[in-house]
């Protein structure tokens, strides 16, 4: 609070809260650059991950704030929750869209207000937006907070989107009383007599981001009308079919057809075997890594603004910074199968050679940037906002430090 009135702080506040620029336009331009670059362009083997994450915020004046579940802390508290989509494959991951969720108390009629949208509705809309923006992906992936919801799965299916989502082990039954069954019951009904006689199970390999692999088993289970050849498949993947360890067992629902099954021919989506379903959901875990980096390194949760517009602008800038970091990483570590073409790099003349990243896992700087190359501020930032600047029609505006009370807000800054 000591430096809250410092000129640089006031300028940042002005840029987020008072100046005139469109966060959606900047994000759209960022996505255009990612789509156009062969190194980051999405492809059909990638995954679109839907998730949400909350951050603590005090008081009641900040937009979207409310007493709600904050997944980052594993408990309910006062904060702001944002629904996000991340595109990822085994090599790369980056944010696509982000929309803050507004609790019902902010609307005159609560949950019955026409403007109110649940996190599920926002997530389904973001998946469609990503597809319409040109993002290719094998399937939409989400955890059990989304996978357990029949309406959410139906909305994705109606939009023509494939999905692989988790289920809670004992959530949801397909019968009443003693006939009620859960995903765990369906898994226990599968035959397993050890590695020498796997019965209904098939060996699959899980690959982890540190390079090691683990041998798991997977199977198509039957639960109610869900089955290997139904419109919904229940796939169980585990490190121990005999014991189904809770921390090493996945219960997954998907609308991808089984290879060789009756739904493969003429179906809207390519078939996926058990290994492919496990691979798709395994990629979903990149979203947790992404959240750690945007929050802990890039300041996603550190906004000191209250308005909806300012929060969305802050999030758009953090997502830009995340993409800049990938750009810097690929500059120093070009893909082996497709060497990067040389290009001028700003900020080298006075600082000498830039230290190269040597660890394959160190995709973001651990601390403050040592030179300006981390974000390519001269060429990449100028390209990113070029479309916004071209549309600025007015003359230069006064500095926020010289704005007096009662004066009209300035028009957009001239290029």
**What would the mean pLDDT of 47-62 be, rounded to a whole number?**
90
Distance, in Å, from the CA atom of 333 to the CA atom of 366, rounded to the nearest integer, reads: 17
Give the mean model confidence (pLDDT) for residues 342-358: 36
- The whole-number pLDDT of residue 201 equals 97
DSSP code of residue 296: I
Please report the pLDDT score of residue 290 as a whole number.
86
- For residues 148 and 209, which has the higher predicted lDDT (pLDDT)? 148
CA distances from 273 to 110, 219, 233, 261 (A): 44, 10, 11, 11
- Tokens found for residue 273: 């075997």
- What string of H, E and C letters represents the secondary structure of 196-235? CCCCCCEEEEEECCCCCEEEEEEEEECECCECCCCCCEEE
Beta strands 47-56 and 139-142 are parallel
Arithmetic mean of pLDDT, 25-37: 95
User: Closest by alpha carbon to 127, among 150, 156, 99, 148?
Assistant: 156
Among 127-131, 189-193, 385-389, where is mean pLDDT lowest? 385-389
Q: Of 359, 273, 287, 336, whose CA–CA distance to 140 is shortest?
A: 287
pTM for this one?
Answer: 0.79
Report residue 360 as tokens: 């394959």
Instruction: Summarize pLDDT for 151-180 with one digit per residue, the tens.
Output: 999 999 999 999 999 999 987 666 666 666
Rounded to the nearest angstrom, the gap between the alpha carbon of residue 28 and the centroid of all alpha carbons in its chain is: 16
Residues in the chain: 415
- Retrieve residue 29's tokens: 């331009």
Check pLDDT > 80 for residue 338. Answer: no
Is the predicted pLDDT of residue 96 greater than 60, yes or no? yes
- Sign of the torsion angle spanned by Cα atoms 58, 61, 64, 66: positive
In this predicted model, what pLDDT tens digit does every residue of 403-412 receive, in sequence order?
Answer: 444 444 444 4
pLDDT score recorded for residue 345 = 39
Q: Are 141 and 164 within 8 A, CB to CB? A: yes
3 state DSSP class of 158 = helix
Going 406 to 385 to 350 to 366, the CA torsion angle's sign is: positive
Residue 93: predicted pLDDT? 93
**CA angle, corner 226, sides to 220 and 229, nearest 5?**
65
For the chain, give percent helix, strand, coil, nearest 5: 35, 20, 50
The count of other CB atoms within 10 Å of the CB of residue 253 is 22
Kind and range of the H or E element at 169? none
Beta strands in 3-73, from DSSP E residues, in sequence order: 47-56, 66-70
At residue 398 the predicted structure's pLDDT band, cuts being 50, 70 and 90, is: very low
CA distance 366 to 368: 7
Read off the tokens for 349.
């003349």
Please state the φ and ψ torsions of residue 219, each to the nearest 5 degrees: -155, 155
Lowest pLDDT segment from 23-27, 245-249, 354-358: 354-358
| Among candidate residues 196, 191, 194, 187, the one with its CA nearest the CA of residue 248 | 187
pLDDT at 212: 87
Residue 43 has pLDDT above 80, yes or no: yes
CA distance 347 to 378: 9
Which long-range contacts does 232-239 make (Cβ < 8 Å, 24+ apart)? Answer: 232/153, 233/257, 233/258, 233/277, 234/167, 234/183, 234/186, 235/274, 235/277, 235/278, 236/183, 236/186, 236/187, 236/190, 237/204, 237/274, 237/277, 237/278, 237/281, 238/187, 239/214, 239/215
Dist. CA 348–CA 21, nearest whole Å: 31
Q: In this predicted model, which residue has the larger pLDDT, 296 or 316?
A: 316
What mean pLDDT, rounded, does the chain reach?
81
Cβ burial, residue 385 (10 Å; 0-12/13-18/19+): middle
């Amino acid at each position: 609070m000591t430096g809250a009135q410092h000129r640089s702080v006031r300028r940042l506040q002005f840029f987020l809260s008072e100046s005139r620029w469109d966060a959606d336009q900047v994000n759209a331009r960022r996505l255009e650059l990612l789509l156009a670059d062969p190194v980051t362009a999405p492809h059909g083997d990638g995954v679109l991950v839907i998730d949400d994450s909350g951050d603590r915020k005090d008081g009641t004046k900040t937009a979207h704030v409310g007493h709600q579940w904050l997944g980052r802390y594993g408990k309910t508290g006062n904060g702001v929750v944002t629904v996000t989509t991340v595109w990822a494959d085994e090599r790369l991951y980056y944010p696509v869209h982000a929309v803050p969720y507004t609790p019902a108390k902010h609307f005159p009629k609560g949950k019955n207000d026409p403007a109110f949208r649940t996190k599920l509705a926002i997530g389904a809309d973001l998946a469609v937006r990503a597809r319409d923006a040109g993002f290719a992906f094998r399937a939409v992936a989400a955890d059990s907070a989304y996978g357990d919801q029949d309406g959410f799965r139906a909305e994705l299916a109606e939009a023509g989107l494939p999905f692989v989502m988790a289920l809670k082990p004992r959530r949801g039954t397909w019968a009443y009383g003693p006939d009620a069954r859960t995903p765990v019951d369906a898994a226990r009904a599968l035959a397993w007599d050890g590695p020498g006689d796997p019965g209904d199970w098939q060996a699959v390999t899980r690959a982890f981001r540190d390079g090691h692999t683990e041998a798991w088993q997977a199977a198509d289970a039957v639960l109610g009308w869900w089955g290997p050849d139904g419109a919904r498949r229940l796939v169980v993947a585990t490190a121990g079919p005999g014991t189904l360890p809770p921390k090493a067992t996945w219960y997954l629902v998907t609308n991808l057809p089984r290879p060789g099954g009756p739904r493969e021919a003429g179906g809207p989506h390519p078939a996926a075997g058990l290994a492919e379903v496990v691979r798709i959901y395994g990629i979903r875990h990149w979203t947790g890594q992404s959240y750690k980096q945007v929050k802990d390194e890039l300041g996603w949760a550190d906004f000191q603004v209250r308005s909806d517009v300012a929060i969305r602008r802050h999030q758009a800038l953090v997502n830009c910074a995340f993409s800049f970091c990938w750009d810097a990483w690929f500059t120093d570590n070009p893909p082996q199968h497709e060497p990067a073409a040389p290009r001028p790099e700003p900020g080298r003349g006075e600082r000498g050679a830039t230290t190269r990243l040597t660890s394959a896992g160190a995709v973001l700087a651990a601390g403050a940037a040592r030179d300006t190359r981390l974000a390519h501020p001269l060429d990449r930032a100028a390209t990113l906002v070029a479309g916004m600047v071209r549309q600025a029609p007015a003359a230069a505006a006064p500095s926020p430090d010289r704005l007096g009370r009662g004066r009209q807000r300035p028009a957009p800054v001239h290029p």
